[in-house]
Amino acid sequence: MSWQKEVDEVQRRRALAREMGGPAKVARQKAQGKLTVRERIASLADGGSFREIGSLAGKSKYAEDGTLESFSPSNMLVGRARIDGRPVVLSADDFTVRGGAADGSVWEKLAHAEQMASELRLPLVRLVDGTGGGGSVKSLDHPDARTYIPAVPGFQHAVNNLSAVPVVGLALGPTAGLGAARVVMSHYSVMVRKMAQLFVAGPPVVAALGELVDKEGLGGSHMQAANGVVDDAVDTEEEAFARTRRFLSYLPSSVHELPARMPGSDDPARTDEALIEAIPRDSRRPYKVRPILETVLDRGSWFEIGAGWGRSVVTGLARLDGWPVAVLANDPVHLGGGWSADASLKIVRLLDLAEIFRLPVVHFVDNPGFVVGEKAERAATLRFGARALAAVYQSSIPVCAIILRRCYGLAGAAHMNQARLKYRYAWPSGDWGSLPIEGGLEAAYKAELQASPDPAAKLAEIRARLDAVRSPLRTAEAFLVEELIDPRETRGLLCEFANLVAPLRNPAPSTLRYRP
């Protein structure tokens, strides 16, 4: 009466599935410097924590007597695991089985992973290595073949997950079509340099358009991490897994929870003497903003996102007295820190992430305004800049602004929602207005300068007069800036902000519907 025979058959088929595409295909994967799908899961997840779902799914061939002749496993592994002790859902492509193409994946598994993350309220990590699309055109070459109107079963779950749980997409090999979309449909995406390429369609397809280019030239990380298709590029798979773990550490498991505080040993009142001279007196001189961030945020907590694109703006996650926060800053090294079209999109992406997962925002401001000129106009800077302005005003999360230096024009006005409580501080280097006087001084006083026997002296006189008016002390006298502070006080004040707003966070779904 025992069922041991059937149990043995289950175990035999599981063993066949663990062979993946077979020794030759596995060896080829390894020869390319890539981990196998099971090695990837073992490297990313806590040891022994992966609970596979659908381990028997695949394609089988049976003899006339019903015995199994051959078995090709699904090329997508799905299941639950733990990352740093927290449950997550994993979906992972196996390139050794039909190159990760959808006709070998059993699409129901993909939909199941998305639905599992949604209904169990767990973070989702997609390890993508393949097309994930319709497979080869050879699939049409048999008597029972038919074409179909394109559809992506379960895609509604992928869309809904963006507003419900943290989603990470990792490009770990050549990735096209639906596979590429699965990487991009995420809150955080990473590709491995030289190993991964990402495109709508690969070189054989675009060759029909007369474009002869290899995979790296068409969709390498040098392109996709610089234009914002993916957030970051790394050198190894292990580094991609490490960044995944760090990203998830700042976020809750779902919008029904709050980001957790991580107690640390970094003194909230810690100061740094270097801050007193961090900003040059010459407003035209750039400076490096990242050392300022690393100094005032909890030590070792700064996690930059999207360093390769929209470079006039710096975005990322960090902690203040252990509380997770989203961080936005201008980088005067690039375009003077002005808001360009791509920087504006980068801002929207960060603010939407913060809104969805209830992360307070700290904004370090040195904004000369929107980038100007013909190139900026052709890039539709105002259109995308307006989107960033709308994101600022639509956000409901607490914001603390630290005005480091410039705050000019329409973009400068968007350093926070001016209709809400202005929780902000300014350094003595603060310089603000509708436009910098350097940009219009000679034009505004053209007639007076032309009439002067010494135009240079006259210009210096006018400049000195206006410089006195633009003193941040005069702004503070009129309570048009709430407080001027010693730069060395910044960390303590930011930690106070983080502790004040932590109880105000509401663990409930946002009305915002997140779009990648």
In 3D, which of 396, 433, 437, 403 has the Cα closest to residue 417? 396
List the structure tokens of 140. Answer: 């049409």
pTM score, two decimals? 0.92
455-469 vs 437-444: helix crossing angle, rounded to 10: 130
273, 486 contact by CB (below 8 A): no
| Secondary element (H or E) of residue 154 | none
Distance between CA atoms of residues 51 and 102, nearest Å: 22
Give how far Cα 434 sits from Cα of 46, 84, 132, 253, 431, Å.
53, 48, 50, 43, 11
| pLDDT score of 203 | 92
Whole-number pLDDT of residue 135: 55
Q: Which two tokens stand for residue 231?
A: 């957030």
Calculate ∠ Cα 392-394-400, nearest 5°.
45
Taking alpha carbons only, the member of 328, 381, 378 closest to residue 355 is 328
The answer for residues whose C-beta is within 8 angstroms of residue 168's C-beta and 6 or more apart is 123, 124, 125, 126, 186, 187, 188, 189, 190, 244, 247, 248
β-bridge partners, 52: 79
| Superfamily grouping for domain 273-436+472-503 | 2-enoyl-CoA Hydratase; Chain A, domain 1 (3.90.226.10)
For 230, residues 6+ apart whose C-beta sits below 8 A from its C-beta are 169, 171, 183, 184, 189, 190, 191, 198, 221, 224
The closest of 321, 327, 315, 272 to 487, measured between CA atoms, is 272
Q: Quickly count: other Cβ atoms within 10 Å of residue 284's Cβ.
A: 9
**Distance from C-alpha of 353 to C-alpha of 326, rounded to nearest angstrom:** 9
Q: Rounded to an integer, what distance in angstroms lies between the CA atom of residue 351 and that of residue 327?
A: 9
Q: How many Cβ atoms sit within 10 Å of the Cβ of residue 349?
A: 23
Closest C-alpha to 352, from 510, 220, 245, 240: 510
Burial class of residue 373 (count of CB atoms within 10 Å of its CB; 0-12, 13-18, 19+): exposed
- d(CA 349, CA 329) in angstroms, rounded, equals 14
**Tokens, residue 370:** 């929107």
CA torsion sign for 233, 155, 251, 423 is positive
Q: What is the pLDDT along the chain (516 residues), one digit of tens a residue?
A: 899 999 999 999 999 999 999 999 999 999 999 999 999 999 999 999 999 999 999 988 998 888 888 888 999 999 999 999 999 999 999 999 987 666 555 788 999 999 999 999 999 999 999 865 555 555 566 676 777 677 787 889 999 999 999 999 999 999 999 899 999 999 999 999 999 999 998 998 899 888 999 999 999 999 999 999 999 999 999 999 999 999 999 999 999 999 999 988 899 999 999 999 999 999 889 999 999 999 999 999 999 999 999 999 999 999 999 999 999 999 999 999 999 999 999 999 999 999 999 999 999 999 999 999 999 999 999 999 999 999 999 999 999 999 999 999 999 999 999 999 999 999 999 999 865 666 566 767 777 877 788 877 777 777 777 766 778 999 999 999 999 999 999 999 999 999 999 999 988 888 889 989
For the domain covering 4-142+155-249, report its CATH number: 3.90.226.10
Backbone angles phi, psi at 29, to 5 degrees: -60, -45
Q: Where in the chain is the domain with CATH 3.90.226.10?
A: 4-142+155-249, 273-436+472-503
| Residue closest to 357 by CA, chosen among 246, 422, 260 | 260
| Token couple for 119 | 């209904």
